[in-house]
Amino acid sequence: MSQPQANDWMHRLLPILQDALAALGMKPERDASHVVHHPLVLEGGPALALDGTERRRQRPTDTLTPKAH
């Protein structure tokens, strides 16, 4: 499968996947403040996963300010 063909299928199938996850109540939470009140967290379920990406951060060069970050 070529990259353009894979991209086309991804855009066709992604709305179906999102609808299915929403119907099951398993859609990923985008706002981290809502995760605390999620039913899986409240019942102590082990099926909780946090997915994050690293982001570059410009660190201060001053020796005193890096401790604040």
So where are the chain's domains?
A: 1-30
DSSP string, the chain: --HHHHHHHHHHHHHHHHHHHHHHT-PPPS-HHHHTT-HHHHTT-S---------------SSSGGGG-
**What is the model's pLDDT at position 28?**
77
pLDDT-above-70 percentage for the chain: 67
Compute the distance between CA of residue 49 and CA of residue 10 in angstroms, rounded to an integer: 23
State both tokens at 15.
């709305």
pLDDT digit string, tens, across residues 28-58 = 777 777 777 766 666 765 655 666 777 777 7
Three state DSSP letters for 26-41: CCCCCCHHHHCCCHHH
pLDDT at 65 over 70: no
pTM of the model: 0.46
